[in-house]
Structure 1
Amino acid sequence: MDGCIFLTTVTIVNEYRTARVAEVLSDFRTLQYYIAAAPTDPVETEDYHLDGYAALRQCALDGQHILNCAADTTVPQTSGGEEEQRKAELKQVLLDAYARRHEAQKIYLRQAAAQTWIQNRGQVLQGGRPSSSNRRQLRACDEQLRNELAQITDEMVYSELQVSDISLGRWTAEDPSMRAVQRWRRSRPRTI
């Protein structure tokens, strides 16, 4: 009898795991759409190497990388039967999806900071070009961008996503730790 209860519990929890993977993958897909839609090049070619545009181009490259890097499909063999094996597979898929969503959120936040920089810079320039009269304001825009980018840490992103998931009433009992996400990222061929 206890074996039946255990299998039923594992089966039910595996349904939660499956739903969680679907939620996280949906979030990742949405973030990828926003990342791909962001502009990367300035209207004025001489602005190409400015910090905000460089950040946007790097975000586009990082977004493409996170989409293209191979999933880790290695799952240890379990001795507990089919449902236990499914549990192990779902946990591995969740880690991959969760880490990709984490990285995509980080990229998206960096893009948002760079787009704010573009707007602030446009307000300073008001259709004109940089000059000695607006140099100080433009440097302030650059400094604000650097500060915002520095605040986008793994810890901040992880916490923000965790709070969002909980507020949406999502099942988060087996979400990967931040360390697991960082290990996943280090295992990718290129540092993001």
Structure 2
Amino acid sequence: MRIAEILSDFRHLQHYIANIRANPSAEDYYEEGYCVLRQCAEEAHALLAQPYECQGPEPDGDYEREKDQLQRVMLDASIRRFKIQQTYLKASAALRWVNSRNAILGTNRPQAIHTPALQQITNTMRAELASVTPARVELALRSQDSIQGKWLVEDPTWSTMEESIRNRR
């Protein structure tokens, strides 16, 4: 059941990121916030296309093998959810930047009078992006799961996931 919950979270975040629509003008295409949004969409797509890393011998009714296989599936699902949560937090910061930029500019082109406000929202976005650390992502996921009363005892920690990612390379 826990694996299904994790994969459901992954699917919901993946769907959210896939449905982000920010259509900058040609002049704004390379503005930092729009670049971050495109990068997030690429990360989400690459994560979805990545093959699952939970192959192993068939359990054939062997309890220990079944347990091993479930732990591999849980680890892979947890890594995917962790990565998509990280991408989601970055995309959210970039969307706040887009909305703030639109609020400042309206339908106008940037002018010198807008520079301080635009610089402020860019600095805010950069600070938010810098705050998307593994510890923050893990805390966000665990807090959300705890609030919802989910069973977390067997969830892998970030250090376990990080080690698994390193070993895959």
TM tier, smaller: over 0.9
Percent identity for Structure 1 against Structure 2:
37
> Aligned equivalents of 1:139 and 1:187: distance in 2?
41
Residues 65 and 183 of structure 1: is their aligned pair in 2 closer, same or farther, counting only changes over 3 Å? farther
* CA offset digits 1:77-128 (Å, max 9, x no partner): 99xx711111110000000001100111111111111110011111111221
Aligned residue for 1:148, secondary structure, equals helix
Q: Could you tell me which residue of structure 1 aligns to residue 16 of structure 2?
A: 34
* 1:98 correspondence with 2:78: yes
Aligned: 1:72 with 2:74: no
Q: Deviations over 1:123-153 (max 9, x none)?
A: 1112211111111111111111100111111
**Structure 1 residues without counterparts, runs of 5 or longer:** 1-18
Does residue 113 (structure 1) correspond to residue 96 (structure 2)? The answer is no
Unaligned residue ranges in structure 2 (runs of 5+):
none
Look up the match of 1:165: 145
SS at match of 1:104: helix
| Alpha-carbon shift at residue 183 of structure 1 (Å) | 2.8
Return the alpha-carbon distance in structure 1 between the equivalents of residues 27 and 117 of structure 2. 19
- Once the two structures are superposed, residues 44-80 of structure 1 have per-residue CA deviations (whole angstroms, 9 ceiling, x without a partner) of 11101111000000000000111111111244799xx
The alpha-carbon distance between structure 1 residues 142 and 87, as it changes in their structure 2 partners (threshold 3 A), is same
How far residue 166 of structure 1 moved from its aligned partner, in angstroms, is 1.4
* Residue identity matched to 2:14: Q
Paired residue type of 1:163: S
Distance 2:73 2:128 in 1: 32
Aligned to 1:14: none
The letter of the residue matching 1:48 is Y
Measure how far apart 1:40 and its partner are.
4.7
Provide the C-alpha distance between the structure 2 equivalents of 1:21 and 1:75, rounded to a whole number of angstroms.
17
Larger Rg: 1
Other-structure match for 1:13: none
Structure 1 segments of 4 or more deviating over 3 A?
74-78, 184-189
The answer to whether the 8 Å contact 1:69/1:188 transfers is no
Q: Give the TM-score, by structure 1 length.
A: 0.82
* Cα RMSD, aligned residues only: 1.8
The letter of the residue matching 1:28 is F
Partner of 1:124: 104
Instruction: Give the structure 2 partner of residue 51 of structure 1.
Output: 32
